[in-house]
């Protein structure tokens, strides 16, 4: 009896919801018309600059002809993909992309943690503030200027090499050798982003209850032990989440800086997926092929992101969605 | 009691002093090195820009300017491309940031309102673009189709709003403002626009300052949009000119009809240009920073938690 009634009630609620969706929308439009007006340009923006270009992905399966446009160009199936997978530089591109990405990932995970733990043990708060301030400054340097500065300091006739020669040492081809490209790329990136990426760790450490440290001192713990058992334990969840999330973007290495650092002497290691997409697409105007490589890139990173999110949910209880 | 505790602490500290002292010493040295690693390159560019280029090239300039002169800055004034690029960049940055700010508020406020019906659908629609996009070529073709190619708008419209910043602002609207304040405003008869303008926006001013900083830095430092979407030299922003000077090493000097020696002289001056142009392009942003440092750090925190 009671069950039946409850069922009836639920049904009524459902009915009410069903037939009132339009009514509710109209009512909402009336009361919140300003909100709708506000969000309209934003919606238009996303449709025009994100969703319409998504329909352009069909180019990956087409042979683009200007006069036919995106929709009218003839289909070629998987020809672009086949060409890409069988091209001689496919494995090099993948390897270069992953190598540079993993290099940056490791440095990017370790250095900010190390820095924030060490800065936490500086006693003078003025000195601490100065250090933080000075590490933020490179955030404002543009990629162009950063790469320009690399040239000034590390170039073949750069300041460092001038000093090395003065000391009678051999100069180091930082920017003009494939071997050193990854290192220079990753470490200059770490230099630029250190202040920015250690903010969250420094904040977490300043939240540690000082009594824990005091108790540890009383118990005779050395600084190393305190770093290990207190500080790093405090940072572990944040580190884990950030690390897992950056695994998701493993294949997405930005092309801006790589393009600027690239020269004929280091292409053996500096040619990565995104620079290849740019060159084939915009320099050679091979639109279909470039879109295909881009789609491959997006799909792989999508899969990596999904896997990373799964792992993060399981290990750290944190999910993007 | 307290004294006793202090005694214990002190005794422990003395006992552990060797290992701890070593740590503090090493830490101090590491931090000084780190400071040098950050401060010296920036300082060096600054002093090299006012030093004799010959001495800079010979590695004579280290900590203080030598052979003081302002040749590099004079060259900037003479170099038309830089001035035009500077002007263009100012326009793109100011107008672009204004568009960004309006769009971000227009997106964040409705999405923060629980009574706004399509808010979840729209949020999902926007957030999806964070993870998947059409890619370089389809976006490029769309910009071309819309007639933005090779116009100043190409520098502002394709990046009119960043969902990341929308999420930051939305969380401030949702959690940073006491609900009682909203209720009071409603009781006083405020409509949606009045509520936003008179109640909400004044309260999120610090956040808006951070967003302005993010967007402005992004516009000022953007060179890739120009590389893809612009063709005319007249439209090029500062960063493109900088790339030509700093990386490509292409310096467009009026050398026609000059003696060889004069050209060599010019080339040497061009070396100083590298330094002065970095100073002139980067220092304005760095000068703004101390004023909103506090909010800046807060902004990163929220971004990190939300992102």
Which of A57-66, A160-169, B290-299 is predicted with the least confidence, judged by mean pLDDT? B290-299
pLDDT band at A13 (very low <50, low <70, confident <90, very high): low
pLDDT in tens, A108-141: 889 999 999 999 888 888 999 889 889 988 989 9
State the average pLDDT over residues A53-58: 92
Average pLDDT of the residues of chain B: 84
Whether residue A63 is predicted with pLDDT greater than 90 in this model: the reply is no
How much is the pLDDT for B234?
A: 92
Whether residue A233 is predicted with pLDDT greater than 50 in this model: the reply is yes
Q: Which residues of A are less than 8 Å from B306 in CB distance?
A: none
Contact B109 A297 (CB under 8 A): no
In A, minimum Cα distance to B272 occurs at A152
For residues B161 and B101, the answer to whether their CB atoms sit within 8 Å is no
Residues 39-78 of B with CB under 8 A from A: 39, 41-42, 44-45, 48, 57-59
Query: What distance in Å separates residue B67's CA from the closest CA in chain A?
Result: 18
Residues B43 and B153 in one domain: no
Residues A202 and A85 in one domain: yes
Residues A48 and A156 in one domain: no
Strands (E), chain B: none
Contact A302 B281 (CB under 8 A): no
pLDDT in tens, B25-55: 899 999 999 999 999 999 999 998 888 888 8
Which of A80-84, B11-15, B96-100 is predicted with the least confidence, judged by mean pLDDT? B11-15
Contact A35 B139 (CB under 8 A): no
Residues A111 and A173 in one domain: yes
Whether residue B254 is predicted with pLDDT greater than 60 in this model: the reply is no
All residues at 6 or more sequence positions from A26 whose CB lies less than 8 Å from its CB, including other chains: none
Q: Is residue A293 in a domain?
A: yes
Residues A144 and A38 in one domain: no
Q: Which helix (H) or strand (E) holds B42?
A: helix B17-48
Give me the percent of chain B exceeding a pLDDT of 70.
Answer: 86
Contact A145 B242 (CB under 8 A): yes
Whether residue A11 is predicted with pLDDT greater than 60 in this model: the reply is no
How far is it, in rounded angstroms, from Cα B45 to Cα B51? 10
How much is the pLDDT for B307?
A: 41
Query: What distance in Å separates residue B254's CA from the closest CA in chain A?
Result: 23
State the average pLDDT over residues A15-26: 72
Residues 216-275 of B with CB under 8 A from A: 217, 220-221, 223-224, 228, 239, 242-243, 245-247, 274-275
How far is it, in rounded angstroms, from Cα B67 to Cα A238? 50
Residues A125 and A209 in one domain: yes
Q: Which residues of B are less than 8 Å from A157 in CB distance?
A: 57
Q: Which residue in the set B58, B117, B129 is minimally distant from A50, CB to CB?
A: B129
Which of A203-217, B5-19, B278-292 is predicted with the least confidence, judged by mean pLDDT? B5-19
Contact A137 B38 (CB under 8 A): yes
Residues B116 and B239 in one domain: yes
Q: Domain range holding B48?
A: 2-70
How far is it, in rounded angstroms, from Cα A99 to Cα B271? 35
Our count of domains for chain A comes to 2
Which of A88-92, B166-170, B303-307 is predicted with the least confidence, judged by mean pLDDT? B303-307
Give the best residue of A55, A131, A140 to mutate against chain B (max B CB count within 10 A).
A140
Residues B62 and B85 in one domain: no
Which of A54-58, B126-130, B257-261 is predicted with the least confidence, judged by mean pLDDT? B257-261
For residues A201 and A112, the answer to whether their CB atoms sit within 8 Å is yes
Query: What distance in Å separates residue B260's CA from the closest CA in chain A?
Result: 23
State the average pLDDT over residues B135-150: 92
Q: Is residue A271 in a domain?
A: yes
Whether residue B93 is predicted with pLDDT greater than 80 in this model: the reply is yes
In angstroms and rounded to an integer, the radius of gyration of the C-alpha atoms of chain A is 27
Our count of domains for chain B comes to 2
Contact A223 B224 (CB under 8 A): no
Query: Which of B70, B94, B114 is the last residue in one of the domains?
Result: B70
Whether residue A287 is predicted with pLDDT greater than 80 in this model: the reply is yes
Q: Which residues of A are less than 8 Å from B19 in CB distance?
A: 222-224
Tokens found for residue A257: 């800086």
pLDDT in tens, A140-193: 999 999 999 998 899 888 889 988 988 888 888 998 888 899 999 999 999 999
Residues A142 and A287 in one domain: yes
Residues A54 and A94 in one domain: no
Residues B65 and B84 in one domain: no
Q: Domain range holding A12?
A: 2-63
Query: Which of B22, B54, B70 is the last residue in one of the domains?
Result: B70
Residues B298 and B205 in one domain: yes
How far is it, in rounded angstroms, from Cα A234 to Cα A205? 7
Whether residue B292 is predicted with pLDDT greater than 60 in this model: the reply is yes
How much is the pLDDT for B281?
A: 92
Task: Look up the CATH number of the domain holding residue A274.
Answer: 1.10.3720.10
Average pLDDT of the residues of chain A: 86
Query: Which of B52, B70, B88 is the last residue in one of the domains?
Result: B70
pLDDT higher for A251 or B174?
Answer: B174
Q: Which residues of B are less than 8 Å from A54 in CB distance?
A: 132-134, 138
Residues B164 and B236 in one domain: yes
State the average pLDDT over residues A6-11: 54
Contact A220 B12 (CB under 8 A): yes
Phi, psi of B259 (to 5 degrees): -70, 155
What ipTM was predicted for this assembly? 0.85
Residues B57 and B149 in one domain: no
Whether residue B295 is predicted with pLDDT greater than 80 in this model: the reply is no
Residues B83 and B204 in one domain: yes
Residues A243 and A114 in one domain: yes
pLDDT band at B306 (very low <50, low <70, confident <90, very high): very low
State the average pLDDT over residues A2-11: 55
Contact A145 B289 (CB under 8 A): no
Whether residue B74 is predicted with pLDDT greater than 70 in this model: the reply is yes
Q: What is the pTM of this model?
A: 0.85
For residues A117 and B27, the answer to whether their CB atoms sit within 8 Å is no
Residues B84 and B65 in one domain: no
Contact B136 A260 (CB under 8 A): no
Residues A150 and A38 in one domain: no
Task: Look up the CATH number of the domain holding residue B299.
Answer: 1.10.3720.10
């Amino acid at each position: 009896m009671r069950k039946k009634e409850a069922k009836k009630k639920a049904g009524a609620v459902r009915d009410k919801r069903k037939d009132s969706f339009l009514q509710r929308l109209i009512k909402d439009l009336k009361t919140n018309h300003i909100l709708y007006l506000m969000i309209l340009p934003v919606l238009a923006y996303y449709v025009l600059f994100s969703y319409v270009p998504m329909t352009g992905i069909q180019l990956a399966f087409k042979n683009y002809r200007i006069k036919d446009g995106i929709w009218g160009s003839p289909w070629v199936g998987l020809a672009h993909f086949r060409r890409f997978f069988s091209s001689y530089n496919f494995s090099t591109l993948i390897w270069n992309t992953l190598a540079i990405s993993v290099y940056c990932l490791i440095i990017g995970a370790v250095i900010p943690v190390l820095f924030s733990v060490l800065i936490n043990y500086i006693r003078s708060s003025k000195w601490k503030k100065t250090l933080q301030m000075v590490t933020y400054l490179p955030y404002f340097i543009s990629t162009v200027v950063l790469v320009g500065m690399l040239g000034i300091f590390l170039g073949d006739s750069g300041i460092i090499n001038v000093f090395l020669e003065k000391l009678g040492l051999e100069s180091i081809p930082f920017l003009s050798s494939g071997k050193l490209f990854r290192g220079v790329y990753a470490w200059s990136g770490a230099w630029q982003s250190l202040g920015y990426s250690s903010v969250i760790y420094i904040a977490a450490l300043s939240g540690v209850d000082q009594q824990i440290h005091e108790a540890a001192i009383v118990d005779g713990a050395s600084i190393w032990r305190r770093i290990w058992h207190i500080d790093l334990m405090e940072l572990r969840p944040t580190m884990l989440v950030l690390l897992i999330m950056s695994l998701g973007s493993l294949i997405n290495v930005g092309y801006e800086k790589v393009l600027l650092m690239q020269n004929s002497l280091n292409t053996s290691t500096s040619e990565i997926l995104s620079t290849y997409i740019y060159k084939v697409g915009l320099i050679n105007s091979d639109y279909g092929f470039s879109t295909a490589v881009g789609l491959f890139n997006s799909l792989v990173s999508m899969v990596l992101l999904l896997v990373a999110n799964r792992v993060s949910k399981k290990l750290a209880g944190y999910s993007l969605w | 009691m307290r004294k006793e505790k202090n005694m214990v602490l002190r005794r422990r500290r003395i006992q552990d002093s060797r290992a701890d002292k070593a740590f503090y010493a090493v830490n101090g040295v590491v931090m000084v090195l780190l400071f040098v690693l950050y401060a010296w390159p920036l300082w060096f560019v600054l002093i090299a820009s006012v030093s004799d280029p010959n001495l800079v090239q010979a590695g004579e300039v280290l900590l203080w300017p030598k052979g003081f002169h302002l040749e590099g800055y004079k060259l900037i004034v003479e170099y038309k491309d830089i001035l035009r690029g500077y002007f263009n960049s100012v326009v793109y940055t100011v107008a672009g940031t204004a568009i960004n700010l309006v769009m971000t508020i227009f997106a964040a406020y409705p999405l923060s309102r629980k009574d706004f019906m399509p808010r979840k659908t729209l949020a999902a629609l926007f957030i999806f673009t964070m993870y998947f996009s059409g890619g370089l070529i389809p976006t490029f073709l769309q910009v071309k189709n819309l007639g933005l190619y090779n116009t100043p708008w190409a520098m502002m419209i394709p990046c009119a709003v960043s969902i990341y910043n929308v999420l930051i602002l939305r969380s401030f609207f949702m959690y940073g403002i006491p609900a009682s304040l909203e209720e009071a405003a409603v009781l006083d008869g405020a409509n949606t626009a009045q509520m936003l303008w008179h109640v909400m926006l004044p309260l999120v001013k610090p956040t808006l300052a951070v967003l302005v900083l993010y967007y402005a830095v992004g516009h000022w430092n953007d060179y890739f949009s120009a590389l893809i979407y612009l063709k005319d030299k007249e439209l090029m922003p500062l960063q493109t000119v900088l790339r030509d000077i700093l990386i490509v090493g292409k310096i467009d000097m009026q050398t026609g009809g000059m003696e060889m020696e004069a050209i060599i002289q010019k080339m040497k001056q061009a070396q100083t240009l590298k330094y002065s142009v970095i100073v002139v392009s980067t220092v304005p942003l760095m000068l703004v920073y101390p004023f909103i440092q506090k909010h800046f750090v807060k902004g990163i925190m929220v971004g990190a938690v939300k992102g």
